[in-house]
Amino acid sequence: MKSTLLIVDDEPALSEILKKHLHREGYEVLTATNGREALALVRQHGNIRLLLLDLKMPGMSGLDCLKKLRRLRGIKSTPAAVIMTAYGNPSSAREAMSLGAVDYLTKPFDLRQVSMVAREVLSRQAVRKLVYVPILHTSHDMGTLAGSMKETFVRKFGPKKWEGHVKAIDEMWTGIGEKIRRLDLPWDRVKVYQDGLPVCAKEREIVADLAKTGSPNHRLVQGLLHRGATLVGTEDPQLLVKEYQHYKRIMTSKNHAERERLIHQFEREEKDLMMKRDQFIRNRIETTLKGDEIGILFMGLLHRVDEQLPSDIEVSYLIDRLPFRRSFEMEMVA
């Protein structure tokens, strides 16, 4: 993903030269003629990483823009600011640095110098990090469908297979729990994202209720919240309801023929539904995880969210592989 830069200068000719040059360097480039326009663009786009900001402009000066920039709310992260100032004006440059500017360019400047400063500033910016935890769900996570899922599994594979299935998943969660507990993270800057957790006003209540039923996943999440982490609603409620209704119809089907028909119907729609869920989760992480924060994502094996995340999110995996086949999640409806 290309980094987005914003040039803020009341000289259209200079802005156009800088825009063309930086575009050739591989950046997405926006322009504004004063501080007020710049702040509006930062709010609108939300992902601008660098401002090249002239100090003297009509309407709102560069210094006034810097003062207001740090107080902006509702943006993913505050962009870095490089001041463009006239030769022989060191006091203004120092004031700008005291207000949060990270560097300055003295006019007239060489375009190669602009490129060098942009690269250095962007390389110093904090990279968002995400710990990806691939999971398999237990029956405790399935709410009212838990009984039907167990009955369906036992009917097809037998009680011993069910016992082995439960034991294997319990061992997986024991291993995940041990690794989670060993993480040394700044918990006040950690955000937790959870497969199946809708964006709503009751995320913590949902986690607490499922933890009470014995869900090892949600007990772990609760433990992270007690350490100081922040819980973030992760999924589109409408898509979750749609999937739940599919499973419910399959689990409560009255005969084999109806069940097979419902399974085939779900298989036809599942790929598109999963893609939409992954896109929503991806967008949710991108818009809520700030530059100095670390995310922890508990995500089912059938998802591909990690393949869609923007390039400025550094993904690490809690576990390299699981001793389970991906098809285990689908055995409940197989």
| pTM listed for this prediction | 0.59
pLDDT of residue 97: 81
pLDDT of residue 299: 93
The answer to whether residues 94 and 225 belong to one domain is no
Q: Cα separation of 29 and 49, whole Å? A: 11
* pLDDT tens profile 69-127: 877 766 666 788 999 987 656 677 778 887 888 888 888 889 999 999 998 888 776 67
Q: What pLDDT band is residue 332 in, cutting at 50, 70 and 90?
A: very low
Q: Are 45 and 72 in contact (CB under 8 A)?
A: no
* pLDDT tens profile 177-201: 899 888 888 899 899 999 999 999 8
The answer to whether residues 157 and 295 belong to one domain is yes
Alpha carbon distances (Å) from 326 to 61, 148, 232, 263: 57, 21, 26, 18
The answer to whether residues 156 and 258 belong to one domain is yes
pLDDT over 50 at 325, yes or no: no
Note down the domain range covering 134: 128-332
pLDDT over 80 at 175, yes or no: yes
Domain boundary, last residue among 124, 148, 176: 124
pLDDT over 70 at 322, yes or no: no
Domain total in the chain: 2
pLDDT over 60 at 330, yes or no: no
The answer to whether residues 30 and 163 belong to one domain is no
Query: Locate tokens 């995940």: which residue?
Result: 176
Q: Which helix (H) or strand (E) holds 251?
A: helix 237-251
pLDDT over 90 at 58, yes or no: no
Least confident of 27-36, 218-227, 312-321: 312-321
The answer to whether residues 113 and 253 belong to one domain is no
Top-confidence range, 255-264, 276-285, 320-329: 276-285
Both structure tokens of 178: 């041990």
The answer to whether residues 165 and 92 belong to one domain is no
pLDDT of residue 202: 94
The answer to whether residues 174 and 107 belong to one domain is no
Residue 295 backbone dihedrals phi, psi, to 5 degrees: -100, 150
pLDDT of residue 67: 86
pLDDT of residue 329: 43
The answer to whether residues 267 and 135 belong to one domain is yes
Q: What is the mean pLDDT of the chain?
A: 84
Q: Cα separation of 334 and 330, whole Å? A: 6
pLDDT of residue 73: 67
Q: Are 39 and 65 in contact (CB under 8 A)?
A: yes
The answer to whether residues 141 and 155 belong to one domain is yes
pLDDT of residue 139: 65
Q: Cα separation of 133 and 194, whole Å? A: 10
Domain boundary, last residue among 83, 105, 124: 124
pLDDT of residue 154: 67
Q: Between these two residues, 147 and 316, which has the higher pLDDT value? A: 316
Domain boundary, last residue among 58, 90, 124: 124
